[in-house]
Chain A
């Protein structure tokens, strides 16, 4: 089975621009979560989507948004980029078992640099 894929792997943008990152989950996985990883703040949860609905959201400004499509693929968007948005953005997918307890599997990440 193919793993979680993320595109693009690297992005360079300038302040004020917007960016869209894409994530394709493992086949059959219905939940997609997004995390931001920075040297200062570590790994922080952005949001989670299941069946095209956002179920959970982290403590990030409204400039960060996402969506999930019917095939479970997900995108996240960051508008009006700031220098502090430079980070590795990780996507993770999981099956969502009926009794809970499933594991999240991560993609390779998208490295975003804001100049």
Chain B
């Protein structure tokens, strides 16, 4: 079974600085997708960024980018120019190519200090 590990239960960053959240996963599959979701205190889960395993290029969405290391099974999220609104729980998730099921990590709570 696939597993997702987020080794940092909590992280903090100063406003306008950069922070990197770590995620590793375990799979024997070659066709899969990786996601970062954000869950603010309001509880609505929001997609931050996604990465297809077959793509070598790292995904980028505005201030959010990933470092996808397929061989190392690592999928870290970098948030640049952190804003107060970035404060939330961040979940890394894995999905097999032939399934809708998401496997989540335990999450990282990000605090942004003014």
Taking beta carbons and an 8 Å cutoff, which residues of A are in contact with B?
31, 33, 35, 42-43, 45, 48, 50, 55-56, 58, 88, 90, 92, 94, 96, 100-101, 103-109
Q: In the complex, identify which listed stretch (B17-25, B79-87, B98-106) lies at the interface while the others stay far away.
A: B98-106
Return chain A residues, CB-CB under 8 Å to B33.
Answer: 101
Smallest beta-carbon distance A111→chain B, Å: 8
Partner of B99, one of A42, A56, A88, A107: A56
Given contacts A43-B91, A88-B43, A90-B45, are A104 and B106 in contact (CB under 8 A)? no
* B101 in complex: contacting residue of A56, A96, A101, CB < 8 Å: A56
* B103 nearest CB neighbor, chain A only: A45
Question: Could you tell me if B45 and A106 are in contact, using CB atoms closer than 8 angstroms?
Answer: yes
B44 within 8 A of A: yes
B107 contacts across to A, CB distance below 8 A? 42-43
* B100 pairs with A104, CB closer than 8 A: yes
Given A43-B91, A108-B44 in contact, is the A48-B50 Cβ separation under 8 Å? no
Judge if B52 is at the interface, Cβ distance under 8 Å: yes
